[in-house]
Structure 1
Amino acid sequence: MLYYIVLNQNKKRAKGSALLRKIKNFLYSRSFMNYQIYFLFVL
């Protein structure tokens, strides 16, 4: 039972880190940087 809980936690963590990686990739991607610069010029 305990092993199952640990396994489940690891799955959740892996899924979460994958999502974080996607968000980081978006934040550091060139298109987002260009969008940020554009946003600054608009303001």
Structure 2
Amino acid sequence: MTLSLSIVVPAYNEGARLGKSLCSIVTYLNKYAPGSELIVVDDGST
């Protein structure tokens, strides 16, 4: 599969909100940008 879009989501100390946000993003990508990828980056959360 060829990727058409990559989205990077920074997630520093976002544990409480991340699930809902990712669900919304994935739903959108599945509908409007199949063949895309979602990358979540967490570097140093406490």
Q: TM-score scaled by structure 1? A: 0.38
Choose 1 or 2 for highest CA Rg.
1
- Structure whose residues are more often helix by fraction: 1
Which structure has the higher relative contact order (CA within 8 Å, separation 6+)? 2
